[in-house]
Amino acid sequence: MADGTLHIAVCVKAVPGSTDVRMDPETNTIVRDGGAAVVNPFDASALELALGIADARAASGVPTRVSVVSMGIPSTASLLRDCIARGATDALLLTDRAFAGADTLATTRALALGLARLGRVDLVLCGKMAVDGDTAQIGPELAGALDLPCAVDVRGLVACSEGALRARVGIDGGTAVVELPLPAVATVAKEAARLRMPSISGVLAAEGAEVEVLDASGAGADPARIGLAGSPTQVVRSFVPEQRSSAREIGGTAREQAAAVADIVERMA
């Protein structure tokens, strides 16, 4: 930014407090005991990473703006206010029936519109994945949609300046340290950081803070490219996995069982 402010946008998703799913044995239908919604834990780590960057810059007297942006149902606003209590500067919620039913492509388009609304953003952070969907696709899709370089699975931050992000990322068979010119997108592993608790001043700030709410037309969305209508993929069936059991049981005392297993492993040598 012209005034030297680094602008970080953190994409967050409200997810069920629990991912437990069970089958109603009577009706053979799915029952979700999700509990209250929470910020996806991976996104919480991404927020902490952003707040950590802001702290480090504040110590040397340079400003940072940390925006949180979410596509969700109206009650998601309270989670965004909690993000402000923990240190985020401002929050934007994209909410509209027209956004509902979005797959990762339609979600990416909505988030890209939200990011455009925030003005110039230097660094977009996402959780590596969401605990309910497990796709890990939003970050790289956003990078593609915005044509920005992308670091996936950030395990730890090495450095972040106005010009570049340097981070340790997970790769097949190990880790690597990579450097990306800003603006860029990065997705964050849960282990990278643990989100701080709200401070008293943060809670006070959050009380007065306005969460900007944007509907589809306000965001300038083409209804055919968002929500269910804009989603190429469709779920045709959901089911709780069944267990097949063809295992041979090894009985007896622990000693007898151990001896039998030792035999099996030896035979396979």
Partner 1 sequence: MMAGLRVDAGLCIGCGRCVRACGSGGIEVEGRLARPTEGCVLCGSCVDACPAGAISIERGDAAGTADLSSYRGIFVFAQVDGDGRLAAVALELTGRARELADARGCGVTALLAEGAGAGADNAGRLIAAGADEVVRCDDARMALPDAEVTARWVESVARERRPEAILIGATAFGRQLAPMVSVRLETGLTADCTALDIDPGTGLLRQTRPAFGGNLMATIVCPAHRPQMATVRPGIFREPDPDPARTGRVTDVPLDASIVPRVRVLSVDASGPGASIADAERLVVVGRGIGSKKNVPLMRRLARALGAELGCTRPLVEAGWLEYPHQVGQTGVSVSPRVLVSIGVSGAIQHLAGIGGAETVIAVNEDPSAPIFGVADYKVVADAIDFATELERALGERRG
- For residue 139, the minimal CB distance to partner 1 (Å) is 8
Based on the shown chain and the rule CB under 8 A, indicate whether residue 241 belongs to the binding site for partner 1. Answer: yes
CB 91 within 8 A of CB 66: no
Q: Give the whole-angstrom CA distance, residue 159 versus residue 56.
A: 10
- For residue 86, the minimal CB distance to partner 1 (Å) is 21
Ranges within 17-76 binding partner 1 (CB under 8 A): 19-22, 24, 27, 29-32, 34, 37, 73-75
Distances (CA, A) of 25 to 29, 31, 106: 8, 10, 35
Nearer to partner 1, 3 or 266 (CB): 266
Q: Give the whole-angstrom CA distance, residue 23 versus residue 40.
A: 24
Ranges within 182-201 binding partner 1 (CB under 8 A): 189-191
Which of 3, 59, 200, 244 is in the footprint of partner 1 by CB under 8 A? 244
Ranges within 123-142 binding partner 1 (CB under 8 A): 129, 131-142
Nearer to partner 1, 173 or 208 (CB): 173
- For residue 124, the minimal CB distance to partner 1 (Å) is 14
Q: Can you tell me whether residue 84 is helix, strand or coil? A: helix
- In sequence order, the β-bridge partners of residue 126 are 11, 187
- Binding window for partner 1 (CB under 8 A); candidates: 58-66, 85-93, 200-208, 235-243: 235-243
- Binding window for partner 1 (CB under 8 A); candidates: 48-56, 81-89, 202-210, 223-231: 223-231
Give phi and psi for 83, each to the nearest 5: -65, -35
Nearer to partner 1, 75 or 201 (CB): 75
Nearer to partner 1, 61 or 255 (CB): 255
Q: Give the whole-angstrom CA distance, residue 263 versus residue 269.
A: 10
Nearer to partner 1, 58 or 259 (CB): 259
Helices 104-117 and 138-146 cross at an angle (nearest 10°) of 60
- For residue 199, the minimal CB distance to partner 1 (Å) is 26
Nearer to partner 1, 204 or 229 (CB): 229
Based on the shown chain and the rule CB under 8 A, indicate whether residue 218 belongs to the binding site for partner 1. Answer: no
Give phi and psi for 47, each to the nearest 5: -65, -45
CB 24 within 8 A of CB 43: no
Mask 84-103, x = binds partner 1 (CB under 8 A)? -------------xx-xx-x
DSSP 7-74: EEEEE--EEES---EEEETTTTEEEE---SEEE-HHHHHHHHHHHHHHHHHHHTT--EEEEEEEE--T
Q: Give the whole-angstrom CA distance, residue 121 versus residue 59.
A: 21
Q: Give the whole-angstrom CA distance, residue 14 versus residue 4.
A: 32
Q: From the centroid of its chain, how far is CA 38?
A: 11
Mask 140-179, x = binds partner 1 (CB under 8 A)? xxxxxx---xxxxx-x----------x--xxxxxxxxxxx
- For residue 4, the minimal CB distance to partner 1 (Å) is 23
